[in-house]
């Protein structure tokens, strides 16, 4: 809420009272605010008109691009169909597949060594080493 107007008077050169200074300041501020509001409204309207124009421009641009793409696709389809109609069928002589690709070498199945197999192998090696040591001594 705005405070009540405070009337301030000034004395002029002749000793009399002059106009209300504070009222003049409020009038000037109100006029400035009104001008700024009008300017902001004009700027907003101008922006809206410009954005509408730009959106219409973009829409026509997109439509034109789509039409170009469709025309290019139709042209490609016509070219493909023409190329297919010109081509002569090739005669393919089939040979058995065995003549082209040699059979892969048969690999022996790899036996996976389990934990117990590992331990048994270590024990056998240990026994062999013990036998060698006994022969030496």
The CA–CA distances, whole Å, from 101 to 3, 11, 91, 95 equal 102, 118, 22, 11
Domain count, the chain: 1
The reply to whether 63 falls in a domain is: yes
Q: Give the pair of three-digit tokens for residue 87.
A: 């081509």
The CA–CA distances, whole Å, from 32 to 3, 4, 6 equal 20, 21, 21
Q: Quick one: pLDDT at residue 36?
A: 92
What does 119-135 look like in DSSP terms, one character per residue?
HHHHHHHHHHHHHHHHH
The reply to whether 122 falls in a domain is: no
The reply to whether 54 falls in a domain is: yes
The reply to whether 136 falls in a domain is: no
Digit-by-digit pLDDT tens for the chain (137 residues) are 555 555 555 554 444 444 555 567 778 888 898 999 999 999 888 888 887 777 778 888 888 898 999 999 999 998 888 877 777 666 666 666 656 676 777 877 777 778 888 899 999 999 999 998 888 77
The reply to whether 3 falls in a domain is: no
The reply to whether 40 falls in a domain is: yes
Domain extent at residue 41: 19-91
The reply to whether 1 falls in a domain is: no
Q: Give the pair of three-digit tokens for residue 4.
A: 């009540």
- Whole-model pTM: value is 0.29
């Amino acid at each position: 809420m705005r405070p009540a107007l405070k009337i301030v008077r000034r004395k002029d050169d002749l000793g009399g009272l002059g106009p209300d200074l504070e009222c003049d300041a409020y009038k000037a501020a109100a006029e400035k605010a009104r001008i700024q509001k009008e300017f902001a409204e004009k700027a907003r309207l101008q922006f809206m008109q410009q954005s509408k124009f730009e959106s219409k421009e973009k829409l026509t641009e997109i439509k034109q691009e789509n039409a170009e793409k469709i025309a290019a696709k139709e042209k490609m389809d016509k070219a493909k169909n023409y190329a297919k109609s010109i081509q002569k069928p090739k005669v393919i002589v089939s040979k058995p597949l065995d003549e082209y690709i040699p059979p892969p070498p048969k690999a022996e199945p790899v036996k996976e060594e389990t934990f117990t197999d590992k331990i048994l192998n270590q024990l056998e090696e240990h026994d062999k080493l013990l036998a060698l040591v006994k022969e030496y001594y």
